[in-house]
C-alpha cells in the first residue's frame, strides 16, 4: 500500500461515513496546509482559521473526490483557493504568483521569513528542525543511512535492502528505531507547547 | 505513546506505505481508537517534513482537535460521491433505454418454434411420380426438391420509410451521398434492370 493508497483508503473510509478517518488526514497534512495558507495570510490567528476552513471545505467536498489526483494535490488546491477567497472577502487582492504544488513544499528559508507565523511558533519550528537534525546526526551509521535513504531519497524498503545488503525486515526495524530516536527528541518540545 | 513496540513499528511501516493492506486497515482502526498512536502519527509526519526540508508551519495546539470538533457538527459527506451519483444515473438511464429498445422495437426474428417450410413438405417419391405422371410430364429431381425459403417477418414500415428517405436524400446530395457511386437504397421504381452480360462481352469490357 503506497502513501497515496493509504490516503485513498482513508478517503474511502470518510466517504463511507467514518469521520475519524479524516482526523488522520488532518494530522498528517496540517503542518503543510498551515504552511501553504501562511504564504497568503500574514496574520497568524487568521491563518489558523483559514487553514481550519480549508480542511472543513475539503471534508465537505470529499464526496466528490475521485482519486484522479493525489489527495494532497487536491487538498493543496482547496487550501490555496480558500486562502485567496478569504483575501477577496476581506477586500484584499490575492497574489497572482501561484506556486506549483511540487515546488510549494520546497521553499527556502528566505520565503519563510514572510510567513505570518508568530515569533514563538517560528522559534519552535526551528527548534524542532534542529532537534530532528541532531537526532539523525546522533544515530548509528546503519540507522542514519536507512532513514536517509527512505525519507530524503525516497527509496522503498526493497531498494534500501538491496542498497544496504540486508533483509527487508531489518530495514523496517532500522527505520523504526531511527524514527523512535527522532521522536524522543521532538516529543518534549511539542509536549511543552501542549502544556502551555 | 502506545506500549506496543510492534504496533509502533507497524505505524512506521504504514507511513512508508510498506504495510500489507490487511495490516494497514487494522492499524488505521487502531489509530482511531488510540489518541497516543494518532499523536505519534502526527509527529512522524512532522519529522518527515523536517527531514525533507518541506515548507511547514506549526499550527496552534489542538488544531486537529478543533477541526475534528467542527466536523462532528457537519453532516457526513455523501458516501456516494457526485461522480458516482452521475455514473449511477447514467447506468440507470442506459438500462432504461435498452429496456425500451428491446421491449418496443419490432421483432424481426423468426420464432424458434416455427418449423421451416421444408419440413412441412412431404417427401416426394419419384417412383410414385413416375407411375402417376404421363410420359413427358416427368420433372427433374432438382426441380421437385426446390422449396421457397421462409419469409422473414414484415419489416417495420417506419424503418422502411426511413431507409427510403435516407437513400433518396443521400443520392440527391450535392456529391451524390457519402458513397456517390453506390445506391444505398434502391426503390423498385428507381432501380433500373441490370443488363446481363455474357462472359465474352464482360471480358471485352474488361480489356477496354
Hey, are the CB atoms on B17 and A176 less than 8 Å from each other? no
ipTM: 0.86
Nearest to A50 by CA among A25, A24, A85: A85
pLDDT at A156 over 90: yes
Touching check for A146 and chain B: CB below 8 Å? no
Touching check for A124 and chain B: CB below 8 Å? yes
The domain segmentation of chain A, as residue ranges, is 1-116, 118-196
Please determine, looking at this structure, whether the domain spanning A118-196 carries the CATH number 1.10.10.10.
yes
Choosing among A10, A79, A123, A179, which should be mutated to test the B contact, i.e. which has the most B CBs within 10 A? A179
Choosing among B59, B75, B88, which should be mutated to test the A contact, i.e. which has the most A CBs within 10 A? B59
Identify the band that residue B8 occupies on the pLDDT scale cut at 50, 70 and 90: very high
The CATH class given to the A1-116 domain equals mainly alpha
Hey, are the CB atoms on B9 and A176 less than 8 Å from each other? yes
pLDDT at A152 over 80: yes
What DSSP letter does each residue of B69-133 carry, written as one string?
Answer: HHHHTSPPPPSS-HHHHHHHHHHHHHHHHHHHHHHHSPP-SPPTTSPPHHHHSPPP-HHHHHHHS
Cβ(B51)–Cβ(A154) below 8 Å:
no
Hey, are the CB atoms on A27 and B45 less than 8 Å from each other? yes
pLDDT in tens, A9-20: 889 989 988 888
Question: Which whole number is the average pLDDT over B86-108?
Answer: 55
Rounded-to-integer distance, Cα A47 and Cα A67, Å: 27
Chain A hits for B64, CB-CB cut-off 8 Å, are 23, 26-27, 30
Chain A hits for B21, CB-CB cut-off 8 Å, are 1
pLDDT in tens, A69-89: 999 999 999 999 999 999 999
Hey, are the CB atoms on A59 and B77 less than 8 Å from each other? yes
pLDDT for the residue numbered B200: 56
pLDDT in tens, B134-146: 444 444 444 444 4
Amino acid at each position: 500500500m503506497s502513501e497515496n493508497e493509504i490516503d485513498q483508503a482513508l478517503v474511502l473510509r470518510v466517504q463511507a461515513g467514518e469521520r475519524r478517518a479524516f482526523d488522520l488526514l488532518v494530522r498528517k497534512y496540517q503542518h503543510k496546509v498551515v504552511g501553504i495558507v501562511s504564504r497568503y495570510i500574514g496574520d497568524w490567528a487568521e491563518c489558523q482559521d483559514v487553514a481550519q476552513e480549508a480542511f472543513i471545505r475539503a471534508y465537505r467536498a470529499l464526496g466528490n473526490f475521485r482519486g484522479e489526483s493525489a489527495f494532497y494535490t487536491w487538498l493543496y488546491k482547496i487550501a490555496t483557493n480558500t486562502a485567496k477567497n478569504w483575501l477577496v472577502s476581506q477586500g484584499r487582492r490575492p497574489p497572482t504568483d501561484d506556486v506549483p504544488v511540487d515546488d510549494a513544499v520546497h521553499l527556502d528559508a528566505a520565503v519563510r521569513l514572510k510567513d505570518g507565523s508568530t515569533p514563538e511558533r517560528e522559534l519552535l519550528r526551528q527548534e524542532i528542525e534542529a532537534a530532528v537534525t541532531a537526532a539523525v546526526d546522533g544515530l548509528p551509521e546503519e540507522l542514519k543511512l536507512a532513514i536517509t535513504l527512505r525519507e530524503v531519497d525516497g527509496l522503498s524498503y526493497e531498494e534500501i535492502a538491496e542498497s544496504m545488503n540486508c533483509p527487508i525486515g531489518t530495514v523496517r526495524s532500522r527505520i523504526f528505531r531511527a524514527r523512535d530516536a527522532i521522536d524522543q527528541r521532538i516529543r518534549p518540545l511539542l509536549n511543552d507547547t501542549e502544556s502551555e | 505513546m502506545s506500549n506496543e513496540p510492534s504496533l509502533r513499528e507497524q505505524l512506521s511501516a504504514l507511513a512508508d506505505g510498506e504495510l500489507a493492506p490487511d495490516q494497514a486497515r487494522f492499524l488505521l482502526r487502531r489509530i482511531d481508537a488510540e489518541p497516543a498512536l494518532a499523536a505519534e502519527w502526527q509527529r512522524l509526519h512532522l519529522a518527515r517534513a523536517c527531514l525533507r526540508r518541506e515548507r511547514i508551519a506549526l499550527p496552534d495546539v489542538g488544531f486537529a482537535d478543533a477541526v475534528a470538533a467542527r466536523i462532528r457538527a457537519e453532516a457526513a459527506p455523501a458516501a456516494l460521491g457526485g461522480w458516482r451519483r452521475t455514473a449511477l444515473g447514467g447506468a440507470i438511464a442506459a438500462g432504461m433505454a435498452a429496456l425500451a429498445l428491446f421491449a418496443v422495437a419490432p421483432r424481426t426474428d423468426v420464432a424458434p418454434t416455427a418449423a421451416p417450410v421444408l419440413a412441412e413438405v412431404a417427401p416426394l417419391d419419384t417412383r410414385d411420380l413416375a407411375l402417376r405422371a404421363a410420359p413427358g410430364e416427368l420433372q427433374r429431381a432438382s426441380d421437385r426438391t426446390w422449396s421457397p425459403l421462409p419469409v422473414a417477418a414484415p419489416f417495420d414500415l417506419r424503418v422502411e420509410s426511413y431507409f427510403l428517405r435516407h437513400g433518396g436524400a443521400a443520392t440527391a446530395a450535392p456529391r451524390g451521398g457519402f458513397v456517390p457511386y453506390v445506391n444505398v437504397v434502391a426503390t423498385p421504381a428507381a432501380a433500373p434492370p441490370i443488363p446481363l452480360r455474357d462472359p465474352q462481352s464482360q471480358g471485352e469490357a474488361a480489356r477496354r
